[in-house]
């Protein structure tokens, strides 16, 4: 396996009492991921779940190498933007996909195609928890904190787990739909929140939302030197949720 290849390791300990860090939507923001991983090491977790859209961003090769080097057991699920790096159709800007894919080795791109849509882990205090990128049935559907219960119930139909962790819309929330708790872990690399930082969550024995500070200004200042081809997204939690809700019916 090359240094940049993505991999998923399985814990060797008893999984019945896992405490995990949920890191979603890193978008190859290396400074943000480095800041979060420093906090993860202090959080006394047993494993890390990467919730997709890990590599479509400014530092794709460096981010892939960092993921591959982690000592903690890791699980990964498929994100739409990473899947689109392999040529699959989607909504991510074509110029971004071409730019990022050109900086990732072939083995890493091949490993993305093998990522599962969902992972289920038995979490201390929560029981079986389903992790997915967008919804349990695909990696592109949009559901937000503003979506009515009936829209959520549609995508949760048939889900047996009582806790579902999602990402995709880059806004943290925790809500109940019927008898299912839906948690959005937020975004490590491109958070749409009211305070700058890298957003993530710890699960076990409950859900703890976390925010790690990093130098956002320095990160943005580095993008022109990378010849990064698209504008970096910024929005408040309300603005982002309203926007995503407006296109959720497309």
Six-digit token string for 177? 């739909």
Cα angle: 111, vertex 60, 11; to 5 degrees: 50
Average pLDDT, the chain: 92
Cα angle: 211, vertex 212, 217; to 5 degrees: 115
Residue 225 lies in a domain: yes
Q: What is the pLDDT of residues 173-218, one digit of tens each?
A: 999 999 999 999 999 999 999 999 999 999 999 999 999 999 999 9
How many other C-beta atoms lie within 10 A of the C-beta of residue 114? 11
Residue 30 lies in a domain: yes
What ranges make up the beta strands (E) of 153-204? Answer: 163-166, 173-177, 180-184, 198-203
Residue 105 lies in a domain: yes
Residue 55 lies in a domain: yes
- Residue 131: which CATH number? 3.60.21.10
Count the domains in the chain: 1
Q: What is the pLDDT of residues 56-108, one digit of tens each?
A: 999 999 999 999 999 999 999 999 999 999 999 888 899 999 999 999 999 99
- Full residue range of the structural domain in which residue 43 is found: 15-247
Residue 95 lies in a domain: yes
Task: Identify the pLDDT of residue 16.
Answer: 56
Residue 135 lies in a domain: yes
Residue 143 lies in a domain: yes
pTM over 0.85: yes
Residue 142 lies in a domain: yes
């Amino acid at each position: 396996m090359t240094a940049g290849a993505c991999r998923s390791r399985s814990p060797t300990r008893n999984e019945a009492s896992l405490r995990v860090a949920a890191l979603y939507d890193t978008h190859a923001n290396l400074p943000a991921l480095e800041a979060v991983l420093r906090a993860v090491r202090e959080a006394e977790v047993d494993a890390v779940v990467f919730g997709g859209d890990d590599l479509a961003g400014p530092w794709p090769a460096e981010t892939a190498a960092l993921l591959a080097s982690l000592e903690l057991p890791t699980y990964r699920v498929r994100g739409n933007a990473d899947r689109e790096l392999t040529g699959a159709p989607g909504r991510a800007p074509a110029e971004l996909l071409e730019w990022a894919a050109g900086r990732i080795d072939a083995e890493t791109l091949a490993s993305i195609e093998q990522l599962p849509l969902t992972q289920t882990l038995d979490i201390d205090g929560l029981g079986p928890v389903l992790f997915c990128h967008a919804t349990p049935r695909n990696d592109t559907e949009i559901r937000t904190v503003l979506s009515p219960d009936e829209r959520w119930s549609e995508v949760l139909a048939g889900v047996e787990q009582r806790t579902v962790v999602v990402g995709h819309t880059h806004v943290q929330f925790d809500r109940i739909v019927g008898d299912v708790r839906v948690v959005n872990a937020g975004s490590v690399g491109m958070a749409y929140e009211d305070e700058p930082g890298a957003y993530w969550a710890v699960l076990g024995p409950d859900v703890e939302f976390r925010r790690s500070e990093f130098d956002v200004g320095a990160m943005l200042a580095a993008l022109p030197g990378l010849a990064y081809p698209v504008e970096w997204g910024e929005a408040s939690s309300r603005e982002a949720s309203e926007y995503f809700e407006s296109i959720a019916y497309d």
